[in-house]
Amino acid sequence: MASSSSSSLPLHICHGNKLTTIINRSHAVLHSIAIAFLIHYRVSFFFQDPKTRAAPAVPLVFVFASELLLSFIWFLGRAYDWNPVYRTVFPERLPSDEKLPPIDVFICTTDPNKEPTIGVMNTLLSAMALDYPPDKLSVYLSDDGGYAITLHAMREAWRFAKFWLPFCRRFDIETRCPDVYFSRTNDHHPESKNSDFIEEKQKTKEQYELFKERVRRAGEECKLKDKDVRSASNHPSCIEVIQEDSKEGLQEGEITEIPLLVYVSREKRTPHLHHFKAGAVNTLLRVSAVLSNSPYILMLDCDMYCNDPTSARQAMCFHFDPQMSPSLAFVQFPQAFHNISENDIYDSELLQIAWPGLDGLKGPVLSGTNFYIKREALCCHSIQKGMGPIHFFLDIIHIYFTIGVQGSYYCAKQADIELRELKDSFGPSNEFIKSIQRDYNKPNLNGDEVSNMLLKEAKVLASCSYENHTKWGKEASFLYDAVAEDYLTGFVMQCNGWTSAYVAPSSTRRPQFLGTSTTNVNELLTQGIRWGAGLVDVAISRFSPLLYGPPRTSFLHSMGYAELSLFPLLYCLPLWCFATIPPLYLLNGVPLYPEVSDPYFSVFLLIFLSSLSKHLHEVLKSGRPIRKWINEQRIWMIKSVTCHLYGSLDAILKKLGLRKASFMTTNKVADDDQIELYREGKFDFRASTIFIVPLVTIMLVNLASVAGGIWRMLFMGGDWKKMLGQVLLSVYIIVMNYVVIEGMVIRRDKGRIPLHVSVLSFVFCLIFLLLGSLISNSLF
């Protein structure tokens, strides 16, 4: 609990759920006992006389290893159940606007072909229209491709903002992303019948249409220009403060307060590593430090618009809490999406169990977007309490800069040493070093000398060689050691003593941010490779949570982080094993599980049902239907055997120096027939063969095994009691992934599985079963 400075009422409250915690902990105890029995059963098998064993040891080694891995990852995940907390905020209790601190908003974009410019501008406009004093808001757009269209569209967006912002403010509009607002057919605004409102709305809408048309036209012109002048991976830095070029559009005497708007395209040269989004954000961190230097930063992906304009005030409820604020690095809001269909076949709506779970331990994971972070925490990572040594150095630097050579010799010399140290960490820019100490500083950027000097400095800070031989990306700012820069940076900050908070919207509030999710198999799994690789990058790096976490952060907190970083790897191995080895032995009539009459059979069944029902409980508790549970199970299996395998491999190969890091940006453009398939709830199997072939092959292997197994029981005197475990496992796989069979043999539409993919998979399945049977028979 916290109390506001102006009243005794709390700005936010934090609550747990005792009953759920009791259920979770009891479940964990029972499940652990069952796992202990399982381990006992398997271990005693290996102590049996090899001549009298019912099954060969080799497949059982794989199966047992998989069972151990699954148990281990299950154990790590218990950290989320330990003490999940939920938070409620009361932004209306915040002190008056004058006391609110300034905020810089960072938005990243990289490729207008995958990230439509109008969408990016909508994100930008929604951020400019946040319910926050406009003079305390600065919006930066990082354009990693350096495209002329983006800069051009930004100037247009600025012009449109002169209509959009006053309209939103005057009528207190809730939906401040213009595209979403104007595409709604019914307006529930209390003044929707008021003629004044109708007129203003119509006028603003016309301006919006004009704005879109100008951007569209500019897009066509710029396409030609961009082609011959520059390339996305090779261009100089370009920084522009977008501001008034004419009085056009403004009525007599009308002044609109518009946040500072800055276009930043960092320099890119081919041999220089640019570190993708992390590199872009670090550039923004430096550039904004000399232009506005706000103590708080809101980070947004270009496809994540502000859906609740009060999110900044919600975040401030924590930053204004005197108890929490000194160590609080960031407030994270959930990643929710606007384009998810009702049946959500790709399980895009993230069930964020880890976030409240970690929030109750020390703080949730940083999710890359939708968070308000303290500049100091991001920039320096180390936590400075009161007059720590860094503050002392900074004070000396301050004296050095203010009194210069006339200062005492001692101070100057001491400052020299410290200045050199700071430059070693943060690079050679004096302006930047000064900004570390200086508070908020929004210069008047109206073409005067100061602004020219600052813009020149900003360009230096955005050059591709600026970070050479500094601590950028290594010890300060967004770290470069993993493609999941967000997860890694948040973890290291928390290991350095910072905390964080997670705020899901309460039932009466709207989601604070809404983004675009993947709506086809190819994008889903391509993104899954990057996420998988990014997380495993961390698991096998010097920051591996179980090794790096304790004693910097609690063991439970490290366990939670370890679960996230290890799950792609630790699920893909056992799932591949269960999808192939038990069915292969089922086909050959060799039991790998105890027979039905054996009491240990119930142990296996119990563990299986206990995991499923725990998951079902989580889904139902969050208010989702059973269908969500099925989707989650299915997508978990599909991702494990495809993208998480490739992602883990990618991370391992990078570690061995056999591959370079890459970041495939998600495509935010969807074509009509793809959207139609998605709305109908049909899988779009027009995806890379490397994704579909494993799925189809596994399905064929399991189908063949169940059919072969039943044949054996019926006609070859097989004992069903011994094989039931394997039959159940394969049937479960088949039932949960029925969509694959449907895509292979039933569907006739465009999104079905192409014949050649089925044929190729059939060949793989045949090879696996033949070779596998040969080997398994020779093992006896």
Please give the positions annotated as active site: 144, 486
Distance from chain centroid for Cα 109: 15
Q: Is 115 annotated as a binding residue?
A: yes
Tell me: does residue 181 bind ligand UPG (CB under 6 A).
Answer: no
Q: Should residue 277 be labelled a site residue for ligand UPG when binding is judged by CB under 6 A? A: yes
Q: Residue 348 or 588: which CB sits closer to ligand UPG?
A: 348
Rounded-to-integer distance, Cα 608 and Cα 600, Å: 13
Is the CB of 194 or the CB of 465 nearer to ligand UPG? 465
Q: Which helix (H) or strand (E) holds 190?
A: none
Which residue's CB is nearer to ligand UPG, number 337 or number 593? Answer: 337
How many residues appear in the chain? Answer: 780
Annotate each residue in 657-676 with x if it binds Mn ion (CB under 5 A) or - if it does not, as one string.
---------x----------
**N- to C-terminal Cα distance for the chain?**
65
* Residues 533-572 as x/- pattern, contact with Mn ion by CB under 5 A: ----------------------------------------
Residue 467 within binding range of ligand UPG, rule CB under 6 A:
no
Q: Does 650 carry a binding-site annotation?
A: no
Establish if 530 lies at the interface with ligand UPG (CB under 6 A): yes
| 263 sits near ligand UPG (criterion: CB under 6 A) | no
The three-state DSSP-derived secondary structure of 734-778 is HHHCHHHHHHHHHCCCCCCCCHHHHHHHHHHHHHHHHHHHHHHHH
For the beta carbon of residue 260, count every other beta carbon within 10 angstroms. Answer: 25
Residue 639 binds ligand UPG, judged by CB under 6 A: no
Residues 646-685 contacting ligand UPG, CB under 6 A: 663, 665-666
Residues 129-148 that bind ligand UPG (CB under 6 A): 142, 144
Q: Which is nearer to Mn ion, 83 or 369 (CB)?
A: 369
For residues 384-397, b (16+ Cβ closer than 10 Å) or e, as one string?
A: eeeeeebeebbebb
DSSP 623: T
49 is in an annotated binding site: no
Query: Is 682 annotated as belonging to a binding site?
Result: no
Residues near 21 by beta carbon (within 8 Å), at least 6 away in sequence: 81, 82, 83, 84
The answer to whether the CB of 463 falls within 8 A of the CB of 283 is no
Contact window for Mn ion (CB under 5 A) among 42-50, 184-192, 265-273, 300-308:
300-308
Binding mask 45-84 for ligand UPG (x = CB under 6 A): ----------------------------------------
Q: Which residue, chain included where needed, has tokens 């709830």?
A: 681
Verify binding: residue 332, ligand UPG, rule CB under 6 A: no
Number of chain residues interacting with Mn ion (CB under 5 A)? 3
Per-residue interface string for the shown chain with Mn ion, residues 467-506, x marking contact by CB under 5 A: ----------------------------------------
Q: Pick from 4, 110, 553, 674: which binds ligand UPG (CB under 6 A)? A: 110
Determine whether the annotation assigns residue 395 to a binding site. no
| Residue 527 contacts which entry, Mn ion, ligand UPG, none (Cβ below 5-8 A, type-dependent) | ligand UPG
Count of residues binding ligand UPG (CB under 6 A)? 24
Token pair recorded at residue 504: 């899901």
Question: Among 241, 280, 287, 733, which residue sits at the site for ligand UPG (rule: CB under 6 A)?
Answer: 280
> Quick one: which of 218, 302, 358, 377 contacts ligand UPG (CB under 6 A)?
302
- The helix or strand, by DSSP H or E, that contains position 138, with its residue range, turns out to be strand 137-143
129-132 long-range contacts (CB < 8 A, ≥24 apart) are 129/161, 129/164, 129/165, 129/168, 129/176, 129/306, 129/309, 130/105, 130/176, 130/306, 130/309, 130/311, 130/312, 131/309, 131/310, 131/312, 131/313, 132/100, 132/103, 132/312, 132/313
Give the residue with the Cβ less far from ligand UPG, 483 or 587.
Answer: 483
Alpha-helical regions (H) of 427-520? 430-437, 449-461, 485-495
| DSSP element (H, E) containing 119 | helix 117-128
Peptide bond into 10 cis (omega under 30): no
Q: Which is nearer to ligand UPG, 141 or 740 (CB)?
A: 141
State the binding partner of 708 from Mn ion, ligand UPG, none, CB within 5 to 8 A by kind: none
By CB under 6 A, tell whether 537 contacts ligand UPG.
no
The answer to whether 579 touches 764, Cβ cutoff 8 Å, is no
What are the residues whose beta carbons fall under 8 Å from the beta carbon of 236, sequence distance 6 or more? 267
> Cβ 661 to ligand UPG, closest distance in Å?
11
Which residue's CB is nearer to ligand UPG, number 115 or number 359? 115
Nearer to ligand UPG, 418 or 481 (CB): 481
Beta-carbon contacts of 351 under 8 Å, excluding residues fewer than 6 positions away, are 618, 619, 622, 624, 628, 632
Interface pick for ligand UPG out of 34, 63, 108, 345 (rule CB under 6 A): 108
Shortest-Cβ-distance residue relative to ligand UPG? 368
| Residue nearer to ligand UPG on the CB measure, 100 or 108 | 108
Three-class SS state of 373 = strand
CA distance 630 to 8: 47
Tokens 């039933």 -> residue: 746
Contacted by 280, from Mn ion, ligand UPG, none: CB < 5 to 8 Å by type: ligand UPG
Known binding positions for Mn(2+) = 277, 301
Residues of this chain that interact with Mn ion (CB under 5 A) are 301, 303, 666
Residues of this chain that interact with ligand UPG (CB under 6 A) are 108-110, 115, 142, 144, 276-277, 280, 301-303, 368-369, 483-484, 486, 527, 530-531, 534, 663, 665-666
